Structure 1
């Protein structure tokens, strides 16, 4: 979840904000049907606190200014507090993405002052949320945690995963967010990743659904006193007007990595990849179990990634390109297609 967003914006990638995303554990109290990381109660994979702290320190040195912690359920990682304090000590802002069920008053009080934004996943109205989360308590327990969270003064918002079938529920999500005092609703199109590949065939929103979502987001954002609304959809016109924002470049920009490559993602097995969880390993910076992040960054060849980004940009801005798109999904598709072609030659 981005720490900032403007009501009614149709936005593309953050373009140099310097976001480091860390997935310190894949253990989770739920097994959601759309989980990109295939997390669950029986998944024990995790990174040590010492390792993630060293990655945060290195990322700050590389120009990253925001730490986003996700999972799995990050509240189940014993080193979450230390990780957030390390990031703050390095001058970074912090966000934590959670399903909200474990936000007891004690945990909220422990996080207060160390997290800038708590991002809580919300998949629509209560029945839809429960169906996606696979636990009949998923909505009521999460909702029951919000009163103390709001009273604590910690900023929070909701992440709504847009599918091919739920744009009509965005209005309900925004109204619920307003009622409980949330400051932001972040609409993120479902990505073809993790459990979604098995459980939700045909659920990735197409260009028509993205268009409906953009119009609906604009409509609900114009209501007075509502939360800010951010939707991860970009228009063809924006792609054409500012190619550099999407790194459609021949060479990496000058400056440290964090000034131009964002997000940078640390997966739970220690692999560092650009842009999004599950990005093909041929583009990985490396494994932080074998070398420090600053050293991996120094030896990384960005040229193959820039080639993927240029190819994606060219495809989407062609005369017959779609008017709206989910940029990260399209980049991931291009990168995976190239891996498949390479494997077959």
Structure 2
């Protein structure tokens, strides 16, 4: 028997239920791990609420990130033995391979032996944030030295990962956050500039920072009215990568700005990288190098116990966090 988290209906954090169930062993090509820590993501709150890109048959498990010890290895799997310390690249379907539980099973190709210097909490906080930021900034945008890159929702785990990756390649990270309360923390984390969008004029500040050449790369999970000042400050031929839709307001299409500057506005899902073996291997190599060198360091906002999964989801939706929320098992 193992404890897992399931939902029987969509709703707020209170619909999350911890149950003891018989967990079947791994199938061919799969690895089962005894989970030590879970990384929480907004995708899980969306699935729980009924607004995710997957529609589960209820009851359903959930969760995308875990770290732990290999418990059992399925048929046809090489390279792992029981007792290995591993973490998990988020699967393409959290319904098929849910992470929230004491035991969880994943495709072997998504299981990674992470650097032994990482704690369980840090290991559970690695893959979603760094793969998302790497795929957008390095794989798609080709971020390079001296580029100006705008990172909105900068205090999120993905935003912080993007700042660290920008620094690795020598780009100038412009962190955008709503209020100035997180400004100093963002600077200490490596942001070259910080803009409090609720307190400053975003377009003016971006133009002051980037100068006449403008910002080449924008990395945004917000959408909404922010599109207009962002694109107004971009350089000719620049690229805006949109990976979310946090704003409840409509997102305008700045047609004449896009035309006059030959801009690229591109939707992006981390599944693009995870679902492509060659791109995933390149991303894993980049991230593991950064973890080993210390240039990539997961920031943990707060840690909860497994029995506090409801409270952890409430904190996830509070927007108060600076970095990743982790649940220990």
- What is the TM-score of this pair, normalised by structure 2? 0.30
Greater RCO, 1 or 2 (C-alpha within 8 Å, sep 6+):
1
Whose strand proportion is higher, 1 or 2?
2
Give the TM-score normalised by the residue count of structure 1.
0.29
